[in-house]
Amino acid sequence: MSSKKGKKKSSDEEKKEEFIRIDGRKPDEMRPYKIRAHILRNADGSAEIRLGGNWIIAAVYGPKEHFPKFEISQDKAILNCRYHMTPYSTTERKSPKPSRREIELSKVIKNALEQAVVLEEFPEMSIDVYMEVAQAEGSTRVASVTAAAVALADAGIPMRDLVVGCSAGKVNGHIILDVGEEEDKEGEADLPIAIMPNLRKVVLLQMDGKLTHEEFKEAFDLALKGAMELYEEQVRALTSILKDMEVIEEGVKDEKE
């Protein structure tokens, strides 16, 4: 596949050079991004992602005893996920009550994270993952899962791999990386994915719009490329925190005792 991809891309790249996107980006260019881990004091793990105008805050609580008892899973932890948009995250005010869309996205994100978290280590317990979209600007679901994975790692929860997401799409006939809000509305297709980058597994995959099989391949490879780029940012965020960790923990002790 990689060789085919190579060929494909080089020919596509010519086209792409000409196409300038609504926000001035090149077709295969990500928006600016920044991930910070360990940003909330109370959560067992937390992270924040900024991806263009997206701003998402993720928090993890657990593992912890699960209530009510009769729902307990005997052989592994239950993973609860909530993807939620704040009222001011969209141009028109969003009701704080979860919409059907938010419930669906919570479900597909849960599936993605379940592939990575070693749930078997915590039978009868539960782990809660909360993603709050403070500002939305396209591709929030993949940004959310990316932040959530960092928050899980920050919580010290054992994982087989990180999970990192990115989107590709089609706008005015061009395959593009990291679909922005306007591009999602006006474009021809949206392809959000999330992967376990080291295990080389797709754990979130959705598509809207219309793509030929050829276009899909191009978009999928582009999204993979973007995800790998964001993965490095995840690692950077976690590494910088690991270094600070002991210092902070000591600081907390000093402050509180």
The b-or-e profile of 203-219 (16+ CB within 10 A means b, else e) is: bbeebeeebeeebbbbb
Q: What six digits make up the tokens of 76? A: 């592994």
Locate tokens 């500002």: which residue?
Answer: 135
In the complex, least distance from residue 66 CB atom to other proteins, rounded to whole angstroms: 9
Size of the site for a second copy (CB under 8 A): 4
Residue type, 124: E
Site for other proteins in 100-119 (CB under 8 A): 100-101, 103-104, 106-108, 111-112, 115
d(CA 126, CA 123): 8
d(CA 204, CA 145): 9
In the complex, least distance from residue 158 CB atom to other proteins, rounded to whole angstroms: 14
d(CA 216, CA 207): 9
- Smaller CB separation from other proteins, 34 or 239: 34
Site for a second copy in 130-149 (CB under 8 A): none
Contact call for residue 217 and other proteins (CB under 8 A): yes
Site for a second copy in 190-249 (CB under 8 A): none
d(CA 175, CA 69): 49
Site for a second copy in 43-72 (CB under 8 A): 67-70
Which string of x and - marks every residue 132-151 that binds other proteins (by CB under 8 A)? x-xxx---------------
Residue type, 129: V
Size of the site for other proteins (CB under 8 A): 73
In the complex, least distance from residue 201 CB atom to other proteins, rounded to whole angstroms: 4
d(CA 145, CA 149): 6
Neighbouring C-alpha atoms within 13 Å toward the C-beta of 203: 30
Which string of x and - marks every residue 64-103 that binds other proteins (by CB under 8 A)? xx-x--xx----------x-x-xxxxxxxx--xx--xx-x
**Interacting span for other proteins (CB under 8 A) from 62-70, 141-149, 226-234, 242-250:** 62-70
Contact call for residue 42 and other proteins (CB under 8 A): yes
Residues that bind a second copy (CB under 8 A): 67-70
